[in-house]
Amino acid sequence: MPGPCDGLVVVDFSWGMSGGLATAVLADFGADVIKIEPPAGDPFRSHPAWIAWNRGKKSAVLDLKTEQGRSHAHRLAEQADVVLESFRPGVSARLGIDYATLSAINPRLIYASISGWGQQGPLSHLPGYEGAVAARSGRMMDFAGQMNREGPAYTAVQVGQWAASQAAVRGILAVLLSRDRTGRGQWVQTSILQNMMPYDLAGLVMRQLTRQHPQNFPANALGAAIRLPMLQYIPVRTKDGQWLQHANLMDRLFRAYLKAIGLGWVLEEEVFKRAPILKHEAREALRELILNKMQERTLEEWMRIYMEDGNVAAEPYRYTVEGMKHEQYVHNGHAVEIDDPRVGRLTTVGLLARLSDTPGQVGGPAPGLGQHTEEVLRRIASRPRATVTAAAEAHGDMRNTPKKPLLDGLTMLDFSMVIAGPYAAAMLADMGVRVFKVDATPEREQTISTGGGMAPMNLKNYAGKEAIQVNLQSPEGQQIIHQLIARSDILLHNFRPGVPQRLAIDWETCRRINPRLIHVYVGAYGATGPHHRRPGAHPIPGALLGGALRQAGRANPPPPDQPMSLEEIKEVSRLLMRANEGNPDPNTSQAVATSIMLALLARARSGRGQAIEVTMLQGNAWANADEAYDYAGRPPYVLPDAECYGLNALYRLYPAAEGWVFLACVFDREWKALCTAVNRPDLAADARFAGAEERKAHDAELAAEIGKIFAARSAEHWEQLLSAAGVACVQADWSLGRFLEEHPQAAANRMAVETESPRFGKYRRHGALIDFSDAPARLEHGSFNGEHTVRVMRELGYSDEQIAELRARGIIHWEEASRLPSAR
């Protein structure tokens, strides 16, 4: 069966992980991807994962520094649908392949840019290494306290590159949809910096709420809710020294867990009967009971009990390649094997999601350098020069046409809960989709005990949505929802298998109502297979697919045979939960939103809807794509050091005289520039540090030398000095929320924009992840439960009397919009 992108020609000028993953998704779903490399090749070809990122593509060598190379590139652009590049701002213009040049040659061209820092701002010229971006934006400082030392911690999972790759894909697909109407392409811009925003779950909002409403949102409220190991999310050590992550967020699941491990009796005790909502003393007493109990059986024994029970969310801590061997991952076909001429049998991540009617297919091995140059040049020579199409001419001047978001006119029903599904829908709302957020009534179907912490996060997850409350378990409620299904383009849910049928929103029911509907299920494990009925939440893929162990550093957890006291177990439990963090949810959101865009493109071509299945397992395997590959002789993956400063002396955090810096000095030219800028020619001349291999062999000595240099002056000084020299050395002592509010780089890229909530008043929310040259974003406030119920019911034709009667009977509901008092 054809993929959604069949027939599309993509010219890929990008280097590294973000561009590689973006065009990998397009290639997997049918696009003809031509990777253009300089004569020396993509500098990241030396990365062991490069062969996984670039499967199914072609390679052509063009020297863009020559007139002939630029001429060939222009001819390719004439014939292409998409061009992708990841250069620093200004470089593409010097090479003659910038948007202005190529769009003049081909007005239908979709030109996508993935930069490190954005196209504007004082930091835009810096090399866009993820470590530097994560450090300066504040993501590393948000991990402060993970290790028992002062200062920020290195962030191991390359979330910015992963999210940026998918933002680029969504932007490209959105313009493809609009091009059928306008005949013209656009410039799609995103950056690693912008794509740190998905991982700020509530930092920006909480900074404001604690100032504006301190009684309702004390400064430590969110930290107590999600940054410490809640009992529901407790990591435990088993009898055989293995570590097991739990994710029983819902109250009923936590109580099922207690019963499964033989602690059900605590629920009969007065002090524990409201578990997991407990006072400090009771909570810590129950923590000790759990940690001691879990040491009575081995990991295998506990997993057997959990599987038989079916209502306990838990998985062991594993590195990515080990997690990819999990029986559910294998059942889903999430991994693929490719015969690669360089390494033999390569195992790596397969298709991003399962699309029922246009599934796509992973292609063959990554190309050798220039393997397809002659073929590409013949293609150029054999085709006549392109002419501006009639559609492009008819729509040639769009300047005076009122601009709407690219996905304006599409409608989505969002039944999903927590973060992975809701945030995916919120990202599409930012691009113009009208999203109805449907919550159960009169109260939520499941109680989530996070101490009130969901309210700030929901300002983000409900952003731009119309929130309605409908009782899905009543015939009248289902009738209301079916009316909306008939009018919608997309339905998203994350109910466990069997629940959609009971609520009458399953795929078979929906397709009878609306054959054009795209029906999306996002789950921890998937809809079939040995684990499909088990519950799951974000710590599950975080632990199983390697993210948490990478973040924990080389020394954690201790070896299985090392004896540990209860206090030591508590400390490792704390560290592992901090390392697991919240990124697995937004990692999954990226896969969900991209998959929906692929299905929308397929529907534009076929006129038919289809069912989509996205798993948290696969979303997080892709997010760990720099580790998610295996072959005989695979080099060991480089983990952060034991204290999570970084990967090596030239890619790590250092304390300065005042504050912290992060140094990202990857290539020889950058090393030489560093030595010159800090006036240490002796380091450049030192035989121990003469080349990359020598520096690797003497890494500790080099780190000590560099540490002495940075200790002499402030972090601010080093950023100014080394940035001017073209070396990515940045301050690392701001929080992400502060960066978004205060830094000129964030302002230049509109990363925090003002909106107004009926409940919270004016506040600044996250900006757009994608900028389009000819289409605005739609950045609106985060709605509260039922905020738009009445408006939507009237739109469906219900009278005010009918609406009041349905509310009185508990069929629909809404909360009153009471404004919280502001601090004086």
Write the DSSP string, 650-708.
Answer: TEEEEE-SSSEEEEE--SHHHHHHHHHHTT-HHHHH-GGGSSHHHHHHTHHHHHHHHHH
Compare 385 and 62 and report the one with higher pLDDT. Answer: 62
Three-class SS of residue 433?
coil
Q: Is the pLDDT of residue 505 over 90?
A: yes
Average pLDDT, whole number, for the chain?
A: 93
Residue 696 pLDDT > 70: yes
pLDDT higher than threshold 80 for residue 1: no
- For the cut 70, the answer to whether the pLDDT of residue 221 exceeds it is no
Phi-psi region of 646 (alpha: psi -120 to 50; beta: other; left: phi over 0): left
CB 671 within 8 Å of CB 648:
no
Residue type, 528: T
List the one residue out of 767, 664, 782 whose CA is nearest residue 167: 767
Q: Give tens-digit pLDDT for 162-204.
A: 999 999 999 999 999 999 889 999 999 999 999 999 999 988 9
DSSP letter at 66? S
pLDDT mean over 39-66: 96
Q: Which two tokens stand for residue 665?
A: 């000095």
pTM for this one? 0.95
For strands 110-115 and 82-85, give the pairing. parallel
- Could you tell me what percent of the chain has a pLDDT over 90? 87
Q: Would you name the residues annotated as active-site residues?
A: 213
CA distance 497 to 493: 11
In this structure, the number of other CB atoms found within 10 A of the CB of residue 509 comes to 16
SS3 198: helix
DSSP letters, 569-626, are: HHHHHHHHHHHH-STHHHHHHHHHHHHHHHHHHHHHHHS---EEEEEHHHHHHHHTTT
Mean per-residue pLDDT, 673-697 = 94
Residue that the structure tokens 């993935």 belong to: 114
Q: Is the Cβ–Cβ distance between 485 and 505 less than 8 Å?
A: yes
Q: Which two tokens stand for residue 19?
A: 């561009």
Distance CA 112, CA 97 (A): 12
pLDDT band at 456 (very low <50, low <70, confident <90, very high): confident
On the CB side of 682, CA atoms within 13 Å amount to 4
* Number of CB atoms found within 10 A of residue 278's CB: 18
Render pLDDT for 725-759 as a digit per residue (tens, 0 to 9): 999 999 999 999 999 999 999 999 999 999 999 98
Which tokens belong to 61? 């060598």
